[in-house]
Amino acid sequence: ERAFPRATLGCPVLDDLLHGGLPCGSITEIVGESGVGKTQLCLQACLSVQLPRERGGLEGSSVYIYTEGDPPVKRLCELVERRVRRQLSHGSLPPLDNVLIDCDIASPKDLWVCINQLPNVIKGSSMRMPVRLVMIDSVANVFRDVSDRPTVTELKERTSMMFRAAAVLKELADRHNLAVLVVNQVADTMQGVNEELQSSGRGVLPSLGLAWSNCVNTRIFASRTGQGLDASRKLQILFSPHLPPAACEYQIRPEGVVG
Protein backbone atom coordinates (compact mmCIF):
# COMPACT_ATOMS: atom_id res chain seq x y z
CA GLU A 1 0.00 0.00 0.00
CA ARG A 2 2.71 2.43 0.95
CA ALA A 3 4.75 1.79 -2.18
CA PHE A 4 1.72 2.44 -4.37
CA PRO A 5 -0.08 5.49 -3.04
CA ARG A 6 -3.63 6.21 -4.17
CA ALA A 7 -5.04 9.40 -5.61
CA THR A 8 -8.48 10.14 -4.23
CA LEU A 9 -11.37 10.47 -6.70
CA GLY A 10 -12.95 13.03 -4.43
CA CYS A 11 -15.87 10.77 -3.52
CA PRO A 12 -15.75 8.49 -0.43
CA VAL A 13 -17.86 5.77 -2.06
CA LEU A 14 -15.63 5.52 -5.13
CA ASP A 15 -12.52 5.73 -2.98
CA ASP A 16 -13.80 2.84 -0.85
CA LEU A 17 -14.32 0.76 -3.97
CA LEU A 18 -10.73 1.45 -5.03
CA HIS A 19 -9.32 1.17 -1.50
CA GLY A 20 -8.29 4.81 -1.45
CA GLY A 21 -8.44 5.92 -5.06
CA LEU A 22 -6.52 5.48 -8.30
CA PRO A 23 -3.35 3.47 -7.68
CA CYS A 24 0.01 4.93 -8.64
CA GLY A 25 2.49 2.74 -10.50
CA SER A 26 -0.02 1.01 -12.76
CA ILE A 27 -2.59 1.48 -15.51
CA THR A 28 -6.28 1.68 -14.59
CA GLU A 29 -8.88 1.53 -17.32
CA ILE A 30 -12.47 2.66 -17.12
CA VAL A 31 -14.72 1.05 -19.70
CA GLY A 32 -18.33 1.88 -20.43
CA GLU A 33 -20.89 3.03 -22.94
CA SER A 34 -21.21 6.64 -24.07
CA GLY A 35 -22.74 8.98 -21.48
CA VAL A 36 -22.00 6.79 -18.51
CA GLY A 37 -19.77 9.40 -16.87
CA LYS A 38 -16.21 8.45 -17.80
CA THR A 39 -15.20 12.01 -18.67
CA GLN A 40 -16.82 13.33 -15.49
CA LEU A 41 -14.65 10.95 -13.48
CA CYS A 42 -11.51 12.12 -15.29
CA LEU A 43 -12.30 15.76 -14.62
CA GLN A 44 -12.88 15.03 -10.97
CA ALA A 45 -9.68 12.99 -10.75
CA CYS A 46 -7.52 15.78 -12.15
CA LEU A 47 -8.81 18.14 -9.48
CA SER A 48 -8.74 15.66 -6.59
CA VAL A 49 -5.14 14.64 -7.22
CA GLN A 50 -4.16 18.19 -6.31
CA LEU A 51 -5.60 17.91 -2.83
CA PRO A 52 -3.26 17.83 0.15
CA ARG A 53 -2.23 14.40 1.39
CA GLU A 54 -4.35 14.63 4.51
CA ARG A 55 -7.38 14.84 2.23
CA GLY A 56 -6.33 11.85 0.14
CA GLY A 57 -4.68 13.82 -2.66
CA LEU A 58 -1.11 13.59 -3.89
CA GLU A 59 -0.42 17.32 -4.16
CA GLY A 60 0.15 16.58 -7.80
CA SER A 61 -0.76 17.95 -11.18
CA SER A 62 -2.12 15.98 -14.13
CA VAL A 63 -1.81 15.59 -17.86
CA TYR A 64 -5.19 15.07 -19.55
CA ILE A 65 -5.01 13.79 -23.12
CA TYR A 66 -8.45 14.40 -24.61
CA THR A 67 -9.20 12.89 -28.01
CA GLU A 68 -12.91 13.60 -28.37
CA GLY A 69 -12.85 17.13 -29.80
CA ASP A 70 -13.21 20.30 -27.75
CA PRO A 71 -12.03 19.56 -24.23
CA PRO A 72 -14.62 20.00 -21.46
CA VAL A 73 -12.91 23.04 -19.95
CA LYS A 74 -16.19 24.75 -19.07
CA ARG A 75 -17.28 21.77 -17.00
CA LEU A 76 -13.85 21.63 -15.39
CA CYS A 77 -14.18 25.29 -14.37
CA GLU A 78 -17.64 24.57 -12.99
CA LEU A 79 -16.27 21.71 -10.88
CA VAL A 80 -13.52 23.97 -9.57
CA GLU A 81 -16.11 26.49 -8.47
CA ARG A 82 -18.47 23.94 -7.02
CA ARG A 83 -16.18 21.60 -5.15
CA VAL A 84 -12.50 22.33 -4.84
CA ARG A 85 -11.68 26.01 -4.71
CA ARG A 86 -11.85 26.20 -0.93
CA GLN A 87 -10.20 22.83 -0.40
CA LEU A 88 -7.22 23.94 -2.44
CA SER A 89 -6.72 27.34 -0.90
CA HIS A 90 -3.50 26.27 0.77
CA GLY A 91 -1.24 28.56 -1.21
CA SER A 92 -1.27 26.43 -4.34
CA LEU A 93 -1.73 27.77 -7.84
CA PRO A 94 -5.27 28.00 -9.18
CA PRO A 95 -6.48 24.43 -9.86
CA LEU A 96 -6.63 24.84 -13.63
CA ASP A 97 -2.93 25.70 -13.73
CA ASN A 98 -2.25 22.18 -12.52
CA VAL A 99 -4.01 20.44 -15.38
CA LEU A 100 -2.23 20.21 -18.70
CA ILE A 101 -4.75 19.40 -21.44
CA ASP A 102 -3.57 18.00 -24.77
CA CYS A 103 -6.44 17.77 -27.24
CA ASP A 104 -4.71 17.83 -30.59
CA ILE A 105 -5.16 14.13 -31.28
CA ALA A 106 -6.87 13.06 -34.49
CA SER A 107 -5.23 9.76 -35.37
CA PRO A 108 -3.50 6.77 -33.77
CA LYS A 109 -0.20 8.29 -34.91
CA ASP A 110 -0.98 11.58 -33.11
CA LEU A 111 -1.71 9.61 -29.94
CA TRP A 112 1.49 7.64 -30.33
CA VAL A 113 3.52 10.86 -30.75
CA CYS A 114 1.75 12.41 -27.78
CA ILE A 115 2.44 9.41 -25.53
CA ASN A 116 6.07 9.42 -26.58
CA GLN A 117 6.36 13.08 -25.64
CA LEU A 118 5.02 12.41 -22.15
CA PRO A 119 8.42 11.64 -20.55
CA ASN A 120 9.71 15.07 -21.61
CA VAL A 121 6.43 16.81 -20.81
CA ILE A 122 6.52 15.36 -17.30
CA LYS A 123 10.19 16.18 -16.74
CA GLY A 124 9.93 19.69 -18.17
CA SER A 125 6.50 20.52 -16.78
CA SER A 126 6.16 24.13 -15.69
CA MET A 127 3.32 23.17 -13.38
CA ARG A 128 4.39 23.73 -9.82
CA MET A 129 3.21 20.40 -8.50
CA PRO A 130 4.79 17.22 -9.89
CA VAL A 131 2.70 15.26 -12.39
CA ARG A 132 1.04 12.39 -10.51
CA LEU A 133 -1.78 11.53 -12.90
CA VAL A 134 -1.90 10.91 -16.66
CA MET A 135 -5.26 10.34 -18.34
CA ILE A 136 -6.26 9.43 -21.89
CA ASP A 137 -9.93 10.09 -22.72
CA SER A 138 -10.51 8.12 -24.81
CA VAL A 139 -8.16 5.68 -26.40
CA ALA A 140 -10.93 3.92 -28.36
CA ASN A 141 -12.05 7.12 -30.06
CA VAL A 142 -8.73 7.54 -31.83
CA PHE A 143 -8.85 4.08 -33.35
CA ARG A 144 -12.55 4.07 -34.14
CA ASP A 145 -12.37 6.36 -37.17
CA VAL A 146 -9.37 4.77 -38.80
CA SER A 147 -11.10 1.99 -40.65
CA ASP A 148 -14.15 -0.08 -39.94
CA ARG A 149 -12.63 -3.01 -41.73
CA PRO A 150 -8.90 -2.91 -41.04
CA THR A 151 -6.64 -5.14 -43.08
CA VAL A 152 -4.53 -7.74 -41.34
CA THR A 153 -1.49 -5.48 -41.71
CA GLU A 154 -3.38 -2.52 -40.20
CA LEU A 155 -4.56 -4.67 -37.32
CA LYS A 156 -1.01 -5.86 -36.65
CA GLU A 157 0.31 -2.30 -36.72
CA ARG A 158 -2.46 -1.13 -34.42
CA THR A 159 -1.87 -3.94 -31.95
CA SER A 160 1.86 -3.34 -31.95
CA MET A 161 1.35 0.40 -31.38
CA MET A 162 -1.02 -0.27 -28.50
CA PHE A 163 1.45 -2.60 -26.82
CA ARG A 164 4.24 -0.06 -27.20
CA ALA A 165 2.04 2.79 -25.96
CA ALA A 166 1.03 0.77 -22.92
CA ALA A 167 4.70 0.00 -22.22
CA VAL A 168 5.57 3.72 -22.27
CA LEU A 169 2.67 4.49 -19.92
CA LYS A 170 3.62 1.69 -17.54
CA GLU A 171 7.25 2.84 -17.49
CA LEU A 172 6.10 6.39 -16.66
CA ALA A 173 3.79 5.10 -13.94
CA ASP A 174 6.72 3.21 -12.38
CA ARG A 175 9.36 5.88 -12.78
CA HIS A 176 7.31 8.79 -11.45
CA ASN A 177 5.03 6.79 -9.17
CA LEU A 178 2.04 8.28 -10.92
CA ALA A 179 -1.46 6.98 -11.69
CA VAL A 180 -2.47 6.31 -15.28
CA LEU A 181 -6.19 6.34 -16.12
CA VAL A 182 -7.28 5.29 -19.59
CA VAL A 183 -10.85 5.63 -20.82
CA ASN A 184 -12.22 3.07 -23.23
CA GLN A 185 -15.59 2.35 -24.74
CA VAL A 186 -17.50 -0.86 -25.01
CA ALA A 187 -17.89 -1.72 -28.67
CA ASP A 188 -21.59 -1.56 -29.48
CA THR A 189 -21.32 -4.46 -31.88
CA MET A 190 -19.81 -6.47 -29.06
CA GLN A 191 -22.73 -5.93 -26.71
CA GLY A 192 -23.97 -9.52 -26.95
CA VAL A 193 -20.48 -10.86 -26.37
CA ASN A 194 -19.99 -8.47 -23.47
CA GLU A 195 -23.12 -9.64 -21.73
CA GLU A 196 -21.95 -13.20 -22.12
CA LEU A 197 -18.47 -12.38 -20.82
CA GLN A 198 -19.88 -10.41 -17.91
CA SER A 199 -22.27 -13.11 -16.86
CA SER A 200 -19.46 -15.60 -16.96
CA GLY A 201 -17.41 -13.26 -14.76
CA ARG A 202 -14.61 -12.73 -17.27
CA GLY A 203 -15.33 -9.07 -17.91
CA VAL A 204 -16.16 -6.97 -20.93
CA LEU A 205 -14.39 -6.89 -24.23
CA PRO A 206 -13.77 -3.23 -25.00
CA SER A 207 -13.53 -1.92 -28.52
CA LEU A 208 -9.78 -2.34 -28.69
CA GLY A 209 -10.02 -6.05 -28.09
CA LEU A 210 -7.99 -8.55 -26.17
CA ALA A 211 -4.54 -7.20 -27.10
CA TRP A 212 -5.22 -4.01 -25.19
CA SER A 213 -6.93 -5.95 -22.40
CA ASN A 214 -3.62 -7.52 -21.53
CA CYS A 215 -1.98 -4.11 -21.17
CA VAL A 216 -4.08 -2.73 -18.34
CA ASN A 217 -3.64 -3.69 -14.71
CA THR A 218 -7.05 -2.75 -13.30
CA ARG A 219 -10.28 -2.59 -15.27
CA ILE A 220 -13.37 -0.81 -14.00
CA PHE A 221 -16.69 -1.15 -15.80
CA ALA A 222 -19.16 1.75 -15.66
CA SER A 223 -22.78 1.12 -16.56
CA ARG A 224 -26.07 2.96 -16.50
CA THR A 225 -29.74 2.06 -16.50
CA GLY A 226 -32.33 4.78 -17.08
CA GLN A 227 -31.78 8.38 -18.16
CA GLY A 228 -30.97 11.79 -16.69
CA LEU A 229 -31.11 12.40 -12.96
CA ASP A 230 -33.08 9.18 -12.45
CA ALA A 231 -30.33 7.09 -14.02
CA SER A 232 -28.88 4.44 -11.81
CA ARG A 233 -25.13 4.18 -12.35
CA LYS A 234 -22.79 1.45 -11.25
CA LEU A 235 -19.01 1.03 -11.14
CA GLN A 236 -17.68 -2.49 -11.00
CA ILE A 237 -14.13 -3.78 -10.57
CA LEU A 238 -13.68 -6.38 -13.29
CA PHE A 239 -10.12 -7.31 -12.55
CA SER A 240 -7.27 -5.91 -10.52
CA PRO A 241 -4.10 -7.27 -8.93
CA HIS A 242 -4.88 -5.55 -5.63
CA LEU A 243 -8.69 -5.31 -5.39
CA PRO A 244 -11.39 -7.92 -4.94
CA PRO A 245 -14.31 -7.85 -7.41
CA ALA A 246 -16.76 -5.31 -6.02
CA ALA A 247 -19.24 -2.67 -7.14
CA CYS A 248 -20.77 0.59 -6.01
CA GLU A 249 -23.45 2.96 -7.22
CA TYR A 250 -22.84 6.58 -8.13
CA GLN A 251 -24.65 9.63 -9.46
CA ILE A 252 -23.60 12.63 -11.52
CA ARG A 253 -24.58 15.93 -9.96
CA PRO A 254 -23.68 19.54 -10.75
CA GLU A 255 -20.95 19.27 -8.09
CA GLY A 256 -19.53 16.15 -9.73
CA VAL A 257 -19.58 12.40 -9.28
CA VAL A 258 -21.02 11.41 -5.92
CA GLY A 259 -21.70 8.07 -4.24
Note the residues at the interface with ligand GTP (CB under 6 A): 32, 34-40, 68, 75, 185, 252, 254
Closest approach of ligand GTP to the CB of residue 4, in Å = 26
User: 105-108 long-range contacts, Cβ below 8 Å, gap at least 24?
Assistant: 105/65, 105/66, 105/67, 105/142, 106/142, 107/142, 107/146, 108/142, 108/143, 108/146, 108/158, 108/161
Closest approach of ligand GTP to the CB of residue 253, in Å = 6
| Alpha carbon distance 154, 147 (integer Å) | 9
Nearer to ligand GTP, 23 or 32 (CB): 32
In order of 27, 63, 95, 117, the CA distances from 129 in angstroms are 21, 12, 11, 19
* 73 Cβ contact list (under 8 Å, min separation 6): 96, 101
Closest approach of ligand GTP to the CB of residue 169, in Å = 20
Nearer to ligand GTP, 164 or 255 (CB): 255
Nearer to ligand GTP, 127 or 257 (CB): 257
Nearer to ligand GTP, 64 or 127 (CB): 64
Closest approach of ligand GTP to the CB of residue 125, in Å = 25
